[in-house]
Structure 1
Amino acid sequence: MEEQIKAVIESDEAVKLNYQLLTSIKCVGPVLAANMIAYTHNFTRFATWRKFACYVGTAPFEHQSGTSIKGRTRVSSLSNKQLKKLIHMVAICACAYNPEMKSYYKRRVSEGKNKMSTLNVIRNKIISRMFAVVNRGSGYVDLMKYAA
């Protein structure tokens, strides 16, 4: 099955380029890259990463009704659960092995933020990076190694 997926990716030059760009991002592997290309129709189905975040179920929505009910922000339960699961696993991997995401996660948790909301922010960061890399057309540049 993996060989057939790789054959499909290799057959189209635009898909191959986007696949290489996606896998240049830390913690984004071949499984998530192939699924992203499939679900977004090679990044033509969704105009922005925010619309894709709504589709996947990582975009937070306010829970309020007029002036009387004001609740916490929540993510929608109507989402693509399979893709959300993949992005969640990548976010957990990024928190463990990506120094930038690891420090961001620890900082937010030490500030008293909820761990799951912090993971949701990291999911959205990964989604936005994937869309940015594809729209820009160049590989991911890790700015942390240039920081002093």
Structure 2
Amino acid sequence: MQARKLITTIKPRDPVGKTRRRLAVELIGELESIDRKIKAADKELQQLVTDRGSTLTDLHGIGPSSAARLLADTGEVHRFRNRDRFASWNGTAPLDASSGEQQRHRLSRAGNRRINRVLHIMAVVQLRNPTPGRTYFDTRKAAGKTSMEAMRSLKRQLSNVVYTRILADQKRSETASPGGQSGTALQSSATGLTPHTGPSDKPHPRPTTTQPNHRLPAMS
């Protein structure tokens, strides 16, 4: 770490300065230890995610811990009838807040907040880089949306991206041959973010609250 290199150049002569330097060296050592543990945990999580046949970490903004959280909380993806149900479950589907002739929607505070946070982090990472998500956000802003509204729309689209990727991975796993080799190649279109207002952008009255701990029938 650069901090360790920097501390070696500091050579105080007074007792107070020497004490401060010693404490700084100890703190740097602790941070390096924590950093090594984080890297080791990420490596283990990446292996677990890969062993599941998931390609979620190929998506921009999804790391090993986020992928593991998505897989653990989502459980059996087929319990969601479509991507709209998935969005309602994770809280990215907007809620209707219209009044009279004024049509408006508001952010849902319900749904799975852990997955909602994963999608929020994914959105922030994409906004910091030249990604399809950045393009989508800028397009929504150019159409007159506020930054908050554009972010809400982006998270909704990223929910579609994640759902499509999980579903494609699941289908590929289901069609794998007994020898472990994939059968018919299923290419996911999850990386595409085409700005539009379609059925997936429509609000849903309430989120799905079923738990992923048990295999559930398809949602209606």
Q: Shorter-chain-normalised TM-score: which range?
A: 0.7 to 0.9
Aligned counterparts of 2:149 and 2:91: Cα–Cα separation in 1 = 13
The answer as to whether partners of 1:26 and 1:98 remain within 8 angstroms in 2 is no
Larger radius of gyration: 2
Residue 60 of structure 2 aligns with which residue?
26
> Which residue, 35, 38, 43 being the options, matches 2:77?
43
For 1:113, the aligned partner's letter is: K
Q: CA 1:55–1:112 in structure 2 vs 1: closer, same or farther (change >3 Å)?
A: same
Structure 1 position 113 matched with structure 2 position 113 = no
RMSD in angstroms over aligned alpha carbons? 3.1
Unaligned runs of 5+ in 1: none
The answer as to whether partners of 2:42 and 2:65 remain within 8 angstroms in 1 is no
For 1:83, the aligned partner's letter is: I
Alpha-carbon deviations, 1:101-125, whole Å to 9, x = none? 2222222213321111211221122
Q: Whose helix proportion is higher, 1 or 2?
A: 1
Q: CA 1:52–1:113 in structure 2 vs 1: closer, same or farther (change >3 Å)?
A: same
Residue 86 of structure 2 aligns with which residue?
52
Aligned counterparts of 1:61 and 1:102: Cα–Cα separation in 2 = 24
Structure 1 position 92 matched with structure 2 position 131 = no
Query: Identity percentage over the alignment?
Result: 20
Q: TM (normalized to structure 2)?
A: 0.52
> Which residue, 104, 107, 110 being the options, matches 2:136?
104
The answer as to whether partners of 1:87 and 1:123 remain within 8 angstroms in 2 is yes
For 1:90, the aligned partner's letter is: M
Q: CA 1:102–1:76 in structure 2 vs 1: closer, same or farther (change >3 Å)?
A: closer
The answer as to whether partners of 1:61 and 1:73 remain within 8 angstroms in 2 is yes
Count of matched residue positions in the alignment of Structure 1 and Structure 2: 137
Shift of 1:89: 1.2
Shift of 1:90: 0.9
Aligned counterparts of 1:111 and 1:7: Cα–Cα separation in 2 = 39
For 1:56, the aligned partner's letter is: N
Unaligned runs of 5+ in 2: 1-37, 170-185, 194-220
Residue 126 of structure 1 aligns with which residue?
158
The answer as to whether partners of 1:133 and 1:139 remain within 8 angstroms in 2 is no
